[in-house]
Structure 1
Amino acid sequence: MASNRPTIAILTGGGDVPGLNPAIRAITVRALREGHRVVGIRRGWAGLVDYSREADADNSDCVQELSEAIVNRAGRTGGTFLHTSRTQPSQLPRERVPEQLTGYGDPVNDVTKDVLLNLEHIGVDILIPIGGDDTLSYGKRLHDEGVNVVAIPKTMDNDVYGTDYCIGFSTCVTRTIELTHRLRTTAGSHERFLVIEVFGRYAGFTALLPTMAGAADRCLIPEHAVDVEHLTELMVYDHNRNPSRYSVVLVSEGASLTSHQGMSFESEETDMFGHRKLGGVGDRVAAALKEYSPRHNHGRRIDVVNQRLGYLVRSGEPDALDSIVPMAFGNLALDLIDRKQFGRLVSIHRGSYDNVPISSVTSDKKVVAVEKYYNTDRLRPIYEFDGAPLFIMTSD
């Protein structure tokens, strides 16, 4: 697969979001017109793990040559046509090591030396990983190993440190507002509480921003543990002053309750990055609201509509912002490549496009500044915007 033209490889890792295909399109179209060869690495880092350097090996499941025709068709759609995975080459379980890779007998293995050889065999000169902090932390590792890396941030939670905005966040907020408003009809018809669990492992932006926009009365975020009886008192107040007799709370999946230790998980199983799958805090909140409601509602129980939005907010086509920002991020990545500035993460800082060192990804966690944006007594946003950037959060 060698070529005399500089080759750019693009991969998408972690969860899918709307906006990935527009980013791939923007990079590919401009790069091809500037004389680069462009390939897509399929299934995230898994494509570079499973690639075979053996003669006549079929690597069509690992690497795909990209053309304008291919990316133009995909650029209007959601998800990622290159596919994705949560593979971590530096933490690869023994049963996941492909048979062509030898010398890896430990329960967990670092196969980076073969990833580097595979990149060389493919002929990759520049690598553009698009992902969240897990995907991009391995991108930093490859940069440290000498690979020319330019990274693009993507995550529903908008929690990559070093940038105000990550691809996928606007569509997530848009979908959350839309679906919450749809669910109001059922909650209002039955005069119930409406509990909606949304994304947000460590950062509560996906609950805070829709609540700011009027989608909910209250919100629970991972940055502040909540007394659920206090929440019940507030929800009963909202319920009884609403002419339709219902109230709404958005609950981040990573939210914690003072009555329970830590986050809520679906199971003990972890991915290669050590993350257990979150889920269940909405169920706990719903049960507690039902239990405590008579204490604050003159002895009468209020029932609950309990819904986890899950993948509904990351499926389908991108909204306007997630069509525009990925296009800009793709072109910013090409600008950095033209200037031979590698080891960078394209970003937005206080509303302006920028770039920062890729090491920013692993330097800190990006979370809601509770003292600025969250009223811990009223369990709702603080509405102060003077001088704040779009979406109120910054990369600082």
Structure 2
Amino acid sequence: MTTQRKKTIGILTGGGDVPGLNPAIRATTLRAVREGYRVIGIKNGWKGVISIDPSKPFEEQEYCIELNEKAVTRIGRTGGTFLHSSRTKADKVALKDVPEHLKGEYKDEINDLTPAALENIKYLGLDYLIPVGGDDTLSYGFRLHKEGVKIIAIPKTMDGDVPGTEYCIGFSTCVTRTIELTHELRTCAGSHERFLVLEVFGRNAGFSALLPTVGGAADRCVIPEHPFDMEHLTALMVEDRNNNPSKYSVVLVSEGAKMIGGTEVFESEETDSFGHKKLGGIGEVVGSRLKKYSPKFNNGKEINIINQKLGYLVRSGQPDALDSIVPTAYGNLALDLIAQGISGQMVCIRDGKYDHVSIEAVRKDEKGESIKKVNVAKFYDTNRYRPIYQNLMGDPLLIMTRDE
């Protein structure tokens, strides 16, 4: 008689942390272990995959651990990622970031460490790998799929812009936090009769600014999909302030928003391995211009500003209800596909229902940007810089998150 080897599933989280990652890890692990799979958690995303040293025994590895019920039972109620994360693209690794044990083999300024990744996946004995991440993380998962690795992807990003799905883990908590924090800051804006300018996430897509505005967080919002006119925005903000009994108005500014004729604003010129410079500062620029132009539309009187970058506040803390429920469903959907021997798929929500699509759906445009963006013509009033609320019949629960 022969004993059949227990199948092994690997799981990793890549890119920025969001609430909901731990519920996904927990759900996947609990279901898998109870059905007889071995589960290995790979730490630090794709960095962990390339950093495992196959010359060492599993017990001595820094970047992988065996997961069981005891390890994951309590993590579902917490934010962040129990497995940690990184912004690493394994086929584009700078020489300084090549793991020590591989530096004799990879000596170029930029290196493709996919052969090392494949060797380490084989070393771990992975029958399936579940990457949880945004389009950057999952696009490398697609690369491994083409190399023969059995991949089931789970979409995650607070920007809500992974193609192929109406929902990404982390998005609901981001929107919820944005609305909550904006309402808290209203007391300061109202007390001093100021403009409240809040910079929010959204590199290429404005979902994380537009949907909170739908929820009543702001009077106006500016998004990456449509360049805005600064004087026109000022006129609208003065109008809103004058119509408000508390004499203040609010604008949400996507970090990737651009003025007409302008460019994105970056914190620095440094880039990550996906070629992205860190965005940040457009909110301060908008705030200073609002103050500068305000006398023109306010009888010559200047209006002061409260400027706040929400940043990590909207991606910290425990997940909200949706980011506790959806990740649990996604983890179980992944196990359903594995049980059926299916691979090369991403679990998703389409037309309001749980489903799966080819991981090839996670693709980018010629500039390396996500192809999923706000449908401006349908959902964004380009004259009033606010959402369009008409003709929503048949749209998804979160309105503008379907791929068009």
When normalised by structure 1's length, the TM-score is: 0.98
How much has 1:58 moved relative to structure 2? 5.9
What is the 5 A alignment of 1:1-396? 4-56=5-57, 59-101=60-102, 102-260=104-262, 262-362=263-363, 365-384=371-390, 385-392=392-399, 393-396=401-404
In structure 1, give the amino acid aligned to 2:157.
Answer: T
In structure 1, give the amino acid aligned to 2:375.
Answer: A
Q: Deviations over 1:90-119 (max 9, x none)?
A: 000011111211321110000100110011
Structure 1 runs, 4 residues or longer, greater than 3 Å off: 55-60
How much has 1:87 moved relative to structure 2? 1.1
CA contact (8 A) 2:45 2:85 kept: yes
Q: For residues 98 and 90 of structure 1, do their structure 2 counterparts lie closer, same or farther at Cα, with a shift above 3 Å needed?
A: same
**CA distance in 1: counterparts of 2:31 and 2:191, whole angstroms:** 52
Q: Deviations over 1:347-366 (max 9, x none)?
A: 10121111100000015511
How much has 1:120 moved relative to structure 2? 0.6
Q: Deviations over 1:150-192 (max 9, x none)?
A: 0000000000000011000000000000000000000000000
How much has 1:314 moved relative to structure 2? 0.2
Q: Deviations over 1:27-48 (max 9, x none)?
A: 1111111110001000101111
SS of residue matched to 1:84: coil
Q: Deviations over 1:185-243 (max 9, x none)?
A: 00000000000000000000000001011110000000000001000000000001111
User: Which residue in the other structure is 2:368 paired with?
Assistant: none
**CA distance in 1: counterparts of 2:288 and 2:261, whole angstroms:** 13
CA contact (8 A) 1:375 1:382 kept: yes
SS of residue matched to 2:289: helix
CA contact (8 A) 1:51 1:59 kept: no
| Equivalenced residues, count | 393
Q: Deviations over 1:22-70 (max 9, x none)?
A: 0011111111111100010001011111110114476442101101111
**CA distance in 2: counterparts of 1:127 and 1:387, whole angstroms:** 35
Q: Deviations over 1:69-93 (max 9, x none)?
A: 1111111111001000001110000
SS of residue matched to 2:395: coil
**CA distance in 2: counterparts of 1:184 and 1:61, whole angstroms:** 46
SS of residue matched to 1:90: coil
When normalised by structure 2's length, the TM-score is: 0.96
Q: For residues 28 and 56 of structure 1, do their structure 2 counterparts lie closer, same or farther at Cα, with a shift above 3 Å needed?
A: closer
How much has 1:6 moved relative to structure 2? 0.3
Structure 1, unpaired ranges of 5+? none
Q: Deviations over 1:5-30 (max 9, x none)?
A: 10000000000000000001111111
CA contact (8 A) 2:9 2:38 kept: yes
RMSD: 1.1
In structure 2, give the amino acid aligned to 1:12.
Answer: T
CA contact (8 A) 2:202 2:208 kept: yes
**CA distance in 2: counterparts of 1:211 and 1:294, whole angstroms:** 26
CA contact (8 A) 1:162 1:361 kept: yes
Q: Deviations over 1:313-359 (max 9, x none)?
A: 00000000000000110111011111111000001012111110000
**CA distance in 2: counterparts of 1:332 and 1:84, whole angstroms:** 22
**CA distance in 1: counterparts of 2:21 and 2:105, whole angstroms:** 35
Q: For residues 199 and 151 of structure 1, do their structure 2 counterparts lie closer, same or farther at Cα, with a shift above 3 Å needed?
A: same
**CA distance in 2: counterparts of 1:59 and 1:219, whole angstroms:** 50
**CA distance in 2: counterparts of 1:74 and 1:60, whole angstroms:** 22
In structure 1, give the amino acid aligned to 2:162.
Answer: V
Task: Name the % identity.
Answer: 62
CA contact (8 A) 2:52 2:61 kept: no
How much has 1:386 moved relative to structure 2? 1.2
**CA distance in 1: counterparts of 2:245 and 2:261, whole angstroms:** 32
